[in-house]
Structure 1
Amino acid sequence: MSARALSQHLCLLLQYPVVIATIFISGFGGSFQYGFSLSVMTSPSAFIKQLLNQTCVERYNLLLEEWQVSVIWSCTISIFCIGGLVGSLVVTSLNTRFGRKRCLLLNNFVAIFGAVLMVLSQTARSFEMIMVGRLVYGISAGVGILAHTRYLIECAPTKLRGMVGVSVATFVAAGKFSGQLLGIRELLGTEKNWHWLLGFNGFTALFQLLTLPFLPESPSFLLLERGDRKACETALKRLWGDKDFSKVVGEMLREKAAMQGVRDHSVLELFQNPTIRWQLLTIIATFISLQFCGINAVYFYCFDVFRAAGIDEDKLPYAALGTGLCEMLFSVVCFMMIESIGKMALLFSGCVGMCTALILLIVSLFLQNHASWMPYCSMVFIFIFIFFFSSGPAATIVPLPGEILTQPFKSAGYTLGCIINWAGLFVLGMGFPILAENIGNFCFIIFPVVCILCGLHIKCNVPETKNRTILEITAEFERMHSKASKKQSTEGDHGGITIHETKL
């Protein structure tokens, strides 16, 4: 990637100030809340467990044992995933009925309700309010991350779609980092203020609620689903400036003509349609890798690695803060360079890089007690892994269904991806600590396998999406795999051809 190409894409983005505003406003009420909810529970965990014990003593005169506290705590963490799965299942109908923008606006009320429960939980001395609040936050995140992604992709010019899509991952990373940062004891990670920390999502939702009404609705939604060409052209002018959009509208109309009389398909119909088999396999493979690439396991182990490197116990939260900061910074770097490199190239290199970093991390963890400098190697491998994750899967996978599926299948594709994501997060959250306790450092072994399998699938079966329309990408999928089918057919008939030529 040349500095000149990077400069050109940044200058191109600066020509669309309303698109930039859309990135920030939709991001804080969308994927930011998902990232924040993933990291925010670590810092106040001791205070929340204390509230749980106090509540049981006051109500039932019962002091919970340590294993009982652990079970309830695990349920509190995991119920977020249950809510996310529910949100993912209802967001498709909400997007279709209300539109992308209004869906995001309505979702803010859900997040604010969850925040109110969190803030009042300490005063009410109710641990149950935290659990319900986590469930509500999960529903909000399940709706928000999907509606945010689809709204951004449909508002971005084709040449900037990859760059804009990466911002979804950037705001997830920003949310994680913000949860870590606000959770330190100098800010909100105290016994007095932890409930305000848990309720912070309400402030980001309120910000979006006040600012999003000034932005236009998705032009694609207005034309393809509402059939309102005038409103579509008005939205395009607000987003992209006063230019000639006849080519863009023409492409949308061709897509509309192709889907004339075709409704939005369900997830089941997505599986049943043979014409999009490779797109379906791509969504399944990439979203599985998003959770099972090892990123959550690396975060789970980073405290042990930093502790072995000699970092004081009271400094560990600040060292972990560095991992969140790195993920956010690397995501910003990817945001700037993705249009020059290409999404599939980044995803492939990210998978290969993560696989290599994980193998080296496994070796360094195994040898950690054999050399005094080995923990520092482990720290380096953790940061290398985070770099490849931020520039690969995190940056490219979430927007992928909207880029490789035509309009009737987009909703089902996003829904399937989110179901896999939330189910994977739930399984990993419940199962990985048990796995780590029983097999130690070797619990990482499955993750390099997932990374390399996903990388090979991308390399062999998925075309580049950079600067291509949906119809062009669909045609490229057909070309790649019809060519493969013809080759297999030719190889299957090769013996008969040879005999025939010999007779001649």
Structure 2
Amino acid sequence: MLHNGESHMLYYERYGSGCGSSFKHKSTPEDVAVYPGPCLAQYRTFFQMILVLGIGGNLPIGYQISVINYPSVYIKRFMNETWFERTGSPLHEKTLLFLWSFIVSIYGVGGLMGCVCSGFLTVKYGKKKSLLGTDLLILATAMFVGFSKRAKSFEMILIGRFLYGVSAGSCMAIHPQYAGEISPKKLRGFANATSGFFWSLGKSLGQILGLREFLGTESSWPLLLGFVGAAALLQLLTLPFFPESPPYLLIQKGDEGGCLKAMHELWGQGSHQEELSDLKKEVVTGKNSNALSAGDLLRDGSLRRQLHVLIAVVLTLQLCGINAVYFYTFEVFRSAGFEEDLIPYISLGVGLCELSSSLLCIFTIERFGRRTLLWKGCGMMAVVLFLLTVTLSLQNKYNWMSHCSVTLVFLFVIFFGIGPNGATMSVMMEIFSQSARPAAFMIGGCLNWAGLFVIGITFPFAVESLGPFCFLIFMVVLVGSGMFFYLFLPETKGKSVVEITEEFNIQPPFGKKLAAVLRKGFHEDHSVYTNF
């Protein structure tokens, strides 16, 4: 009879650390009986942490983006009634419209501020403490907004939307970094793709709760706006039981023991020498272990190509046309003959379609790779937008064209979820080292929030001037982005940060590479573009 410690020693002598380990001797029936089960079981804590990070990370962001439209009628009525009680006269129609637009748009201003602060917070306090602080902010804001009706103050809604934006800007930068850094190399794509999934899950949750059967009523809209506090509370109660990210502990804190302890907690017992060795190489090859500021990153010539890719993926996400498609959803469904009362439920189906495709991306990104999902996703979205422009232009002449438009809307959302929505965060996470990552996400986040603001202002004018032909602008962007990713983005699947950085460093300048491709033609083997 062996003691526990002796039996564990014997087990690891025979089986190593579990998944992918080599046996010291040929297995026997007795060995098979002792084997603990599927290799993914050792990552149970890792999967639990991914769930916790998603619920308190990108889920609240997606929820806040989608939920604000459902109670708009009730909030405007509340604002008007409150103003009448104070002054004895109702709000002017243009003043009411301005105040409502300000409430909606100030979310982006807060997001920009939260994003700017995220780099400092993650470097000084780490990602775990930063997220916990964000949870406290969301909870306080949810209570603040939830009591706005009782306090008869629409100003509380305005302040609450701004604070929600601050928390969203912080979460958008911290959540994908944290999820990527706690993952082993073989599950890194899976972890990074969950950011897009929880974003879509939050949007779908907001659409469901915003229906009149749930919280989309005049009496319960304050609860609808404050419901997101439940997600923050869940993360606040559970995240303290999980470790800080191993790269942060080793590279920025110099705590190798704490790094190994975190790896054991997340990935099960074993040596984890490969991941530890990759992190040590990152320290050795890096200029220093200190985090770069945004200015340092912008001036660093060795990271210039990574910065170009960062800008490309963020701009693609903003200019791919997904917001335009959602904007036209009601018109497309109305033209297809659906009743007005059914359109919100069909629109919910579009959101659930995006959620399903994001889930599919989680399980396919490690098989097909980030580069493939990006450039093929952009290409398919461009084709769909071209066809959608045609069907929208002709649906007044041919009734059956409206049904084609409905099908194309669903196809576009599917390609968006599998492609850019799922792969963008993975690329942003993997092409930068630990020291440059906070600044990179801060820059990318600022571009993202600024893009939301600019598109929100300019898009209505584009629709008024061009109608459905505005989709052609997004189509051109998608074609250009797809070509850029195909030519200049190395595949990051299964590679360490050091290996990815080496591939970027040995690439020729963009102009020379493009000229070489144009000379050789696209008929040659794809290794011309991928073997750098």
Residue 318 in structure 1 maps to residue 345 in structure 2 = yes
Please give the residue correspondences for 1:411-450 in structure 2 after superposition, counting only pairs within 5 Å.
411-450=438-477
Residue 55 in structure 1 maps to residue 82 in structure 2 = yes
Answer yes or no: is the 8 Å Cα contact 2:389–2:471 preserved in 1: yes
Please give the residue correspondences for 1:4-43 in structure 2 after superposition, counting only pairs within 5 Å.
13-43=40-70
Cα distance in 1 for residues equivalent to 2:96 and 2:395: 32
Match of 1:89 among 106, 113, 116: 116
Judged with a 3 Å threshold, the aligned counterparts in structure 2 of structure 1 residues 25 and 145 are, in CA distance, closer, same or farther, namely same
Secondary structure, counterpart of 2:73 in structure 1:
helix
Aligned to 2:32: none
Residue 409 in structure 1 maps to residue 436 in structure 2 = yes
1:452-498, Cα deviation, whole Å (9 max, x unpaired): 11111100001001000001111111223269759979x9xxxxxxx
Structure 1 outlier segments of 4+, above 6 Å: 486-489
Match of 2:233 among 206, 213, 234: 206
Judged with a 3 Å threshold, the aligned counterparts in structure 2 of structure 1 residues 97 and 28 are, in CA distance, closer, same or farther, namely same
> Deviation of residue 377 (structure 1)?
0.6
Answer yes or no: is the 8 Å Cα contact 1:13–1:160 preserved in 2: no
Aligned to 1:334: 361
Number of paired residues? 481
Judged with a 3 Å threshold, the aligned counterparts in structure 2 of structure 1 residues 304 and 341 are, in CA distance, closer, same or farther, namely same
Residue 115 in structure 1 maps to residue 142 in structure 2 = yes
- Provide the alpha-carbon RMSD of the alignment: 1.8
> Deviation of residue 252 (structure 1)?
1.0
Cα distance in 2 for residues equivalent to 1:117 and 1:421: 27
Aligned to 2:256: 229
**Which deviates the most, 217-226 or 11-20?**
11-20
Cα distance in 2 for residues equivalent to 1:204 and 1:187: 18
Cα distance in 1 for residues equivalent to 2:39 and 2:270: 14
**TM-score, normalised with respect to structure 2:** 0.87
> Deviation of residue 443 (structure 1)?
2.2
Aligned to 1:172: 199
> Deviation of residue 56 (structure 1)?
1.6
Secondary structure, counterpart of 1:481 in structure 2:
coil
Aligned to 1:376: 403
Aligned to 1:4: none
> Deviation of residue 414 (structure 1)?
0.6
Secondary structure, counterpart of 1:317 in structure 2:
helix
Q: Which amino acid aligns with 1:27?
A: G
Aligned to 1:3: none
Cα distance in 1 for residues equivalent to 2:271 and 2:190: 23
Secondary structure, counterpart of 2:435 in structure 1:
helix
Q: Which amino acid aligns with 2:125?
A: F
1:94-139, Cα deviation, whole Å (9 max, x unpaired): 1011111111111101111111121011111111111111100111
Task: List gaps (5 residues or longer) in structure 2.
Answer: 1-19, 21-37, 519-532
Please give the residue correspondences for 1:378-393 in structure 2 after superposition, counting only pairs within 5 Å.
378-393=405-420
Cα distance in 2 for residues equivalent to 1:189 and 1:115: 17
Judged with a 3 Å threshold, the aligned counterparts in structure 2 of structure 1 residues 483 and 121 are, in CA distance, closer, same or farther, namely closer
Answer yes or no: is the 8 Å Cα contact 2:370–2:427 preserved in 1: no
Aligned to 2:28: none
Task: List gaps (5 residues or longer) in structure 1.
Answer: 1-7, 492-504
Q: Which amino acid aligns with 1:465?
A: T
Q: Which amino acid aligns with 1:192?
A: S
Answer yes or no: is the 8 Å Cα contact 2:67–2:225 preserved in 1: yes
Aligned to 1:157: 184
Residue 462 in structure 1 maps to residue 489 in structure 2 = yes
Cα distance in 2 for residues equivalent to 1:181 and 1:80: 21
Cα distance in 1 for residues equivalent to 2:233 and 2:374: 34
Residue 362 in structure 1 maps to residue 382 in structure 2 = no
Cα distance in 1 for residues equivalent to 2:354 and 2:418: 9
Q: Which amino acid aligns with 2:502?
A: A
Percent identity, please: 41
Cα distance in 2 for residues equivalent to 1:130 and 1:166: 32
Aligned to 2:284: 257
Cα distance in 2 for residues equivalent to 1:205 and 1:454: 35
Aligned to 1:183: 210
Cα distance in 2 for residues equivalent to 1:318 and 1:143: 32
Judged with a 3 Å threshold, the aligned counterparts in structure 2 of structure 1 residues 293 and 256 are, in CA distance, closer, same or farther, namely same
